[in-house]
Amino acid sequence: AENSKLRHVEKDVLIPQIMRDRAKELCSDKVQAFTKCCQETGILMVVKCRQENTALKDCLVGYYSDPSFYEECKAEYLKQREEYRATGIKKKRQKFTPHV
């Protein structure tokens, strides 16, 4: 169906944006650990927080390179697009809660 075809900007900008937002939420413990480390160490953070930074990167990259995560985010994007086209109202993204 023509409707399921994604435009370049959707594939390269809009869906990755959802992926980034969701991955940050899913890795939030690591985001917090890295942020806390940076706040405590200041100028030496590059050296001191390497472990936290690596953990955070690994977590994010794990999601970015997961095809099923991409499909999940794409489905979420398409759902949002569908609602927007139906209502004309751009919905603010609700916080994602992972189903455990």
pLDDT in tens, 35-70: 999 898 877 777 889 999 999 999 999 999 999 999
pTM of the model: 0.72
Q: Tell me, what's the pLDDT at 2?
A: 46
Which residue segment(s) compose the domain that 55 sits in? 9-81
Q: Counting every residue, how long is the chain?
A: 100
Q: Is residue 47 part of a domain?
A: yes
Higher-pLDDT residue of 91 and 72 is 72
Helix/strand/coil for 37:
helix
**Amino acid found at 19:** M
How far apart are alpha carbons 47 and 58 in whole angstroms? Answer: 17
Q: Tell me, what's the pLDDT at 46?
A: 73
User: Nearest CA to 96 among 17, 36, 13, 1?
Assistant: 17
Residue 91 reports pLDDT greater than 90: no
User: Nearest CA to 72 among 2, 8, 22?
Assistant: 22
How far apart are alpha carbons 59 and 23 in whole angstroms? Answer: 8
Domain count, the chain: 1
Q: Is residue 94 part of a domain?
A: no
